[in-house]
């Protein structure tokens, strides 16, 4: 939607649908979906919204204004529900086709047809394409509800716009009542209570006592999430608790004055860049500059975070359904893959191995392989996908710096996304999550300073996986790292990943299994005063990506100052 060109106009006019149709340009036809202007919404029996090219919308609005009708131009970014949306409809329908639809649990009146939804309404990509392009038939929908015997309306939104429109739309407003849950101005609690009072007076089944039950107000509510956005919902206290640890800022203040107090005249003069006989007029600005510099350094240190691995509690759990096991074709008969499959089977999974040629795999062939493998099994619904493709560390043909297993893993993620039903079929009863993809590696990460990864090529899958988790939150399961190598069986260790966080749906998606325990990856703030981490040795040639902007120029200069002999600067596209 944001890729569409800006322009066009939308104007609300006081007129009937029939009146507006007669004013549409003859070339636009009489169906209200004109090429230059058309009907975007029917908000009431005499309330229509026009949308389309600005000059044509203004022409129609001017004619109606000349007849004494009210008109009001709407402040919008695009001319919605008009021909100016056509450029995005095909792509929108393709995206909508990847969504799994289910019949509505409650009757729904469609804003597209103005009637009770039935058949494929609400359940196909073509329907939602029409929802973007066709007029919003709110007035017809309100009258459809009236025909079904509805007389009480509650608006769930930030204001009372639809409340007024609903009462204007019904044919007999004397029998109808409507209330908004909230109003833009005024106290939210008062608005909600007034709405609840109206519903109670109209015979709705409410429990007024629950409004005063403190236990009823403590229930946990699911908050919305978004793949690329991290919102913190915890309330922040504005007061510092009694006896609280001094902040980093106050600690830096103490260190600054300790230095001023303890440094000798020559040391202080050298630090300030002054002579020992400098006048007070020079010393005070230098002290202020030093203090500001040290506070800025302290603030920057407070931004630093580090990766740590925390021990996990291991609890017994069982796997269910069919688990697909994509494995490099060259390792399909190896002891490592066999031990993984055996361990999954021992914990209740029906395992189907899927040999993959990682060097040539693409999203289309992988999707077909997975679908065929699942179709040939009678082990029940898909329980999950556990990928061993990272084990193929051979260079990808024509791309020597890319491991074949990494490329195949990316194709696997795309294949699962491309599958119309995600290989899951309709959503399971009870609202359970779809089967997820887990990627297995062997010693690709280190859980403590003394443990160096022995398979850095597989570590690339961990970098890719953390991005895939953001791009595909509904189908991504996580990453599990095992000890040892892919040449030896790991039955004893793999058995532990089915207990606790491993292959679970409790939110843990980065797990390392070791002989001395299971560990979870965490990002924590570096404590104040902690020893700084060892900085990389910037020597030889340094590759700097995304370097064509102003920040890239500054970073390249900084790298040169740190000792880099050559800086290879490329754009995000690799140019």
**Residues forming beta bridges with residue 13, ordered by sequence position:** 48, 71
Where do we find the tokens 């007076």?
Answer: 201
Q: What is the pLDDT along the chain (575 residues), one digit of tens a residue?
A: 666 777 789 999 999 999 999 998 654 545 556 678 999 999 999 999 999 999 999 999 999 999 999 999 999 888 999 999 998 999 999 999 999 999 999 999 999 999 999 988 999 999 999 999 999 999 999 999 999 999 999 999 999 999 999 999 999 988 999 999 999 888 888 899 999 999 999 998 888 777 777 666 566 667 666 666 566 777 766 555 554 444 555 666 676 667 666 666 777 777 777 777 777 667 777 777 777 777 777 777 778 888 899 988 766 567 888 999 999 999 998 888 998 898 888 888 899 999 999 999 999 999 999 988 888 877 678 888 999 999 999 999 988 889 999 999 999 999 998 875 546 544 443 444 567 899 999 989 998 878 888 888 999 999 999 999 998 888 899 999 998 888 878 755 455 555 444 465 566 889 998 877 888 999 888 887 677 777 788 888 998 988 877 788 899 999 999 999 999 988 866 56
H, E, C per residue of 247-313: CHHHHHHHHHHHHHHHCCHHHHHHHHCCCCCCCHHHHHHHHHHHHHHHHHHHHHHHCCEEEEEEECC
CA dist., res. 359 & res. 403, Å (int): 9
Q: Residue 273's pLDDT is what?
A: 76
CA dist., res. 543 & res. 149, Å (int): 69
Q: Residue 462's pLDDT is what?
A: 95
Which is it for the CA torsion 479, 483, 484, 489, positive or negative?
Answer: negative
Residues with Cβ < 8 Å from 168, sequence gap 6 or more?
A: 43, 44, 45, 47
First to last CA, the chain: 29
Q: Residue 480's pLDDT is what?
A: 92
| Triad 117, 123, 124: Cα angle to 5° | 120
**Residues forming beta bridges with residue 180, ordered by sequence position:** 155
3-class secondary structure, 325: strand
Where do we find the tokens 């440094």?
Answer: 263
Task: Indicate whether this model's pTM tops 0.85.
Answer: no
**Residues forming beta bridges with residue 399, ordered by sequence position:** 396
Q: Encoding tokens for residue 57?
A: 């919308």
Q: Residue 382's pLDDT is what?
A: 87
- Within 13 A of 428's CA, how many CA atoms are on the CB side? 14
Please give the helix or strand (H or E) that residue 326 lies within, else none: strand 322-328
Which structural domains are found in the chain, ordered by start? 9-150 (3.40.366.10), 322-426+433-525 (3.40.50.11460), 535-575 (no CATH)
Nearest to 332 by CA among 380, 373, 363, 367: 373
CA dist., res. 269 & res. 200, Å (int): 78
Residues with Cβ < 8 Å from 132, sequence gap 6 or more?
A: 80, 81, 85, 88, 89, 92
Q: Residue 85's pLDDT is what?
A: 92
Residue 449's Cα: distance from chain center in Å?
32
CA dist., res. 326 & res. 368, Å (int): 13
What's the DSSP call for residue 97? Answer: T
Q: Residue 215's pLDDT is what?
A: 67
CA dist., res. 175 & res. 533, Å (int): 73
What's the DSSP call for residue 462? Answer: H
């Amino acid at each position: 939607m944001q890729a569409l060109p800006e322009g066009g106009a939308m104007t609300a006019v006081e007129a009937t649908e029939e009146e507006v149709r007669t004013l549409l340009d003859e070339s636009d036809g009489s169906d209200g979906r004109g090429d230059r202007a058309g009907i975007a919404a029917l908000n009431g029996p005499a309330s229509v919204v026009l949308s389309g090219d600005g000059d044509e919308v203004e022409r129609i609005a001017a004619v109606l204004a000349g007849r004494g009708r009210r008109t009001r131009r709407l402040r919008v970014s695009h001319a919605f529900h008009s021909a100016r949306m056509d450029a995005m409809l095909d792509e929108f329908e393709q995206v909508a086709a990847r969504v799994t639809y289910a019949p509505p649990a409650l009757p729904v009146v469609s804003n597209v047809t103005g009637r009770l939804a039935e058949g494929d309404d609400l359940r196909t990509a073509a329907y939602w394409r029409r929802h973007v392009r066709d007029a919003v038939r709110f007035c017809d929908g309100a009258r459809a509800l009236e025909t079904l015997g509805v007389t009480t309306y509650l608006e769930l939104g930030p204001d009372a716009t639809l409340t007024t429109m609903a009462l204007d739309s019904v044919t007999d407003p004397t029998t109808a009542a409507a209330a908004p849950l909230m109003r833009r101005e005024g106290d939210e609690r008062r608005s909600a209570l007034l709405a609840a009072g109206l519903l109670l007076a109209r015979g709705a089944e409410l429990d007024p006592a629950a409004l005063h039950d403190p236990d009823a107000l403590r229930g946990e509510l699911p908050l919305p999430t978004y793949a690329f956005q991290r919102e913190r919902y915890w309330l922040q206290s504005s007061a510092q608790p009694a006896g609280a640890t001094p902040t980093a800022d106050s600690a830096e203040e103490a260190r600054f004055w300790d230095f001023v107090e303890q440094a000798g005249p020559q040391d202080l003069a050298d630090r300030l860049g002054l002579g020992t006989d400098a006048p007070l007029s020079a010393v005070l600005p230098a002290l202020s500059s030093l203090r500001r510099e040290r506070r800025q350094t302290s603030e920057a240190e407070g931004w630093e975070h580090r990766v740590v691995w925390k021990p996990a509690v291991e609890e017994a759990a069982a796997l269910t359904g069919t688990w697909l096991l994509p494995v490099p074709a060259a390792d399909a008969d190896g002891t490592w893959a066999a031990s993984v499959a055996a361990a999954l089977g021992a914990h209740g999974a029906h395992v189907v191995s899927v040999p993959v040629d990682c060097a040539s795999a693409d999203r289309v062939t992988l999707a077909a392989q997975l679908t065929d493998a699942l179709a040939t099994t009678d082990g029940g619904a898909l329980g999950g996908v556990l990928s061993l493709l990272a084990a193929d560390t051979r260079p990808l043909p024509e791309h020597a710096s890319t491991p074949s297993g990494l490329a195949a893993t990316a194709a696997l993620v795309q294949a699962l996304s491309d599958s119309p039903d995600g290989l899951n079929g309709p959503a399971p009863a009870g609202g359970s999550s779809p089967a997820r993809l887990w990627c297995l590696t062997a010693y690709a990460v280190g859980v403590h300073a003394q443990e160096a990864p022995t398979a850095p090529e597989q570590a690339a899958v961990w970098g890719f996986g953390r991005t895939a988790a953001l791009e595909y939150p509904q189908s991504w399961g996580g990453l599990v790292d095992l000890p040892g190598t892919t040449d030896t069986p790991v039955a004893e260790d793999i058995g532990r990943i089915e207990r606790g966080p491993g292959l679970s749906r409790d939110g843990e998606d980065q797990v390392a299994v070791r002989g001395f325990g299971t560990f979870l990856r965490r990002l924590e703030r570096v404590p104040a005063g902690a020893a700084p981490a060892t900085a990389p040795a910037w020597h030889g040639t340094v590759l700097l990506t995304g370097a064509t902007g102003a920040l890239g120029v500054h970073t390249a200069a900084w790298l040169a100052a740190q000792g880099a002999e050559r800086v290879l600067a490329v754009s995000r596209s690799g140019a």
